[in-house]
Structure 1
Amino acid sequence: MAMKRWEVRYRIGASQYHSRIVEALSQADANRIFDAEMPDAQRCGSARLIGNA
């Protein structure tokens, strides 16, 4: 399987929304990678696939 690019929207505290790109095999993996890399951030929903699937 090829790595795919996922966009994850998040907030830190009461700040506005931000987004971050994560490369992973699946949506669940992208969510886990983001949660591990940014434990203080509040993820808003699940990762969203970027580009053509």
Structure 2
Amino acid sequence: MIIKNENDVLKAIEEHNVKFIRLQFTDIQGVVKDVEIPVTQIKKALTTGISFD
């Protein structure tokens, strides 16, 4: 499945019975960081973002 937009993400989550999403990014020094969120937070993550510390 090719994911093109938010609806595709939500559809794939439902089809594959996903429970958690791991979001990865690189900090300003190039170190990979990640945060794991429950799928109940995915819409918030896609629209307004997720805070972490």
> TM (normalized to structure 1)?
0.39
Bigger share in strand = 1
Which of structures 1 and 2 has the bigger CA Rg?
Answer: 2
Q: Which has the higher contact order (CA 8 A, sep 6+)?
A: 1
> TM (normalized to structure 2)?
0.39
